[in-house]
Structure 1
């Protein structure tokens, strides 16, 4: 998707400090952090929303959660606790229509989130 900011980041077309990358995903700091640790984990494959996932994406989603766990440990938030969030569509808070997962931690996260 030529105009998708997350596709551009994943393809190396934008200058972004990646904290993690492999053949399936990239991860980087959120530009508007909501917690001391706020990373975005973005698949390289363009999938607009969670509603657009296909059966063939099951392994990708499992991989994303595995990377979230790895990054939580590396960021020092695993033992105290963290949250992984994916918003879907406008009322769900999605602003970039390329699925992505927020890894949040480093403070007491309240419930409900708002």
Structure 2
């Protein structure tokens, strides 16, 4: 069922505390933790506690939680001191876009120059 924890989801296991992660912030609706394969000096994932496979399905079902994820991304940027020089918030959707865990999540990336287009 949408929104319910999934037994085979890595991020649901992190939310439940059964898989370790370097958590940097938690709220009632979100958990933020360091990416295990960082692409920049600051690379933190912000996930909703609810399970939805991607950002679009989360936004359609839970717009307030989607706003919480974005607000927390901004808080992480400030906490990591990348907010003044610039940072990127990235939602990958689908395997072709690089999504490897199918639980909605935002990447907060900063601390180095970020060219456009990325890649």
Question: Does TM, normalized by the shorter one, top 0.5?
Answer: yes
Q: Secondary structure at the match of 1:110?
A: coil
Deviations 1:17-42 (A, max 9, x none): 21011111101100000000000001
**1:68 maps onto 2:73 in alignment:** yes
Q: What are the ranges of 5 or more consecutive residues in structure 2 without an aligned counterpart?
A: 1-5
Quick one: which of 18, 33, 36 aligns to 2:23? 18
**1:77 maps onto 2:82 in alignment:** yes
Residue correspondences, number: 114
Alpha-carbon distance in 1 for matches of 2:16, 2:85: 33
Alpha-carbon distance in 1 for matches of 2:84, 2:76: 12
Alpha-carbon distance in 2 for matches of 1:99, 1:21: 16
Q: What is the root-mean-square deviation of aligned Cα atoms in Å?
A: 1.1
Q: With structure 2 as the length reference, what TM-score do the two structures score?
A: 0.91
Q: With structure 1 as the length reference, what TM-score do the two structures score?
A: 0.94
Q: Secondary structure at the match of 1:52?
A: helix
Q: What are the ranges of 5 or more consecutive residues in structure 1 without an aligned counterpart?
A: none
The alpha carbon displacement at 1:14 in A equals 1.2
Alpha-carbon distance in 1 for matches of 2:60, 2:51: 15
**1:98 maps onto 2:98 in alignment:** no
